[in-house]
Structure 1
């Protein structure tokens, strides 16, 4: 087993590089996190972040267990899930675009919470495509299917935590710069448009 460590280290590094590039790239979940961070701040966005992380990790387990293949084999179910995801993403874009500028915690405006983040993550088509591509791209423990799957799930769960937290933090860091009413409003609409555009690109590619 000791002779396998150099291979494992190299394969794990390649897995992380590809995972950050694919899973951390702009998409419905990551852009919504940035938009919520910019519109509502870091603390208010934490419940939504938790939902995104748990939901995306759930997608990872579905990919690893083969459940995703069963879902994709049901066109009607895929259509229903995609439609629900699109409706919610449009609603979320509206929430980001119309969020109060330079709001205070006590002003009554609430950011989307845990459950909306969870639902978006589970219905996010980019998550299945990106995680599926990364998961199948590397074999970390040759000849040991269960160990290989366990290591990849653990490694990718770390990436899910880091990249999504980074996107929320990035948006929250911008919120302090968006105190001017006009600039802040334009920035909110910009994030909303980017969120909708990311979905449009996924539909075109798909």
Structure 2
């Protein structure tokens, strides 16, 4: 991979991971409700889980979907259901002082698995492979996945710290409740591109 191509890939990857989306909104909410240290497994699940998804997608997972077209619709339905469930959990999160016993942030496995039903993750993975690993050979795909590991570290830390800092203004349970509902609404709003009319694959790739 040339330096120019690598620079373009790094810029593309950073922009796609650091902009608002399901992962980042959930990290911010987790940072606000549970603090930085308890959100670390969630962060690692994204940092390692998404690049693994990129790697598998680049090495041929999408070909399996192409063999059975209804799988796109099934993936879309699963994405909607799980995101609505996560939005409900965020909206009903316990106050920080109660979260240690009542609330639980996403685990590493849950966070990594979520990437497979995250519409934005699919869009990012498909775009990155199409643009920067056109040959679909292992070294090219590995480069893309490796860059995403690096930029994901920056993104996950940034959004979790942002949520942690916001926590200072959410001491009042009522204010925290409003914040959590607002974050849940934003998370549900990320479903708009998925539910927008279009073909099954397009709904996931926008």
| TM-score with structure 1 setting the length | 0.82
1:187 equivalent to 2:174? Answer no
1:102 equivalent to 2:96? Answer yes
Give 1:3's aligned residue. Answer: none
Equivalent pairs counted in the alignment come to 198
Deviates more, 1:162-171 or 1:195-204: 162-171
Whether the 8 Å CA contact 1:35–1:171 is kept in 2: the answer is yes
Whether the 8 Å CA contact 1:102–1:178 is kept in 2: the answer is no
1:63 equivalent to 2:63? Answer no
Shift of 1:105: 5.9
1:127 equivalent to 2:118? Answer no
Larger radius of gyration: 1
Separation in 1, partners of 2:18, 2:63:
23
Pair 67,144 (structure 1): closer, same or farther in 2 beyond 3 Å: closer
Whether the 8 Å CA contact 2:16–2:124 is kept in 1: the answer is yes
Pair 73,177 (structure 1): closer, same or farther in 2 beyond 3 Å: farther
Give 1:168's aligned residue. Answer: 160
Q: Deviations over 1:132-188 (max 9, x none)?
A: 212322369xx9944333322222222233323322222222122211222211111
Whether the 8 Å CA contact 2:52–2:145 is kept in 1: the answer is no
Give 1:204's aligned residue. Answer: 196
Separation in 2, partners of 1:144, 1:110:
39
For the residue of structure 2 that corresponds to 1:176, the secondary structure is: helix
Instruction: Show structure 2 runs of 5+ residues with no match.
Output: 198-202
Shift of 1:93: 0.9
Separation in 2, partners of 1:163, 1:29:
10
Shift of 1:28: 1.7
Shift of 1:127: 0.8
Superposed CA RMSD: 2.5
1:52 equivalent to 2:46? Answer yes
For the residue of structure 2 that corresponds to 1:66, the secondary structure is: helix
Separation in 2, partners of 1:98, 1:110:
12
Give 2:144's aligned residue. Answer: 152
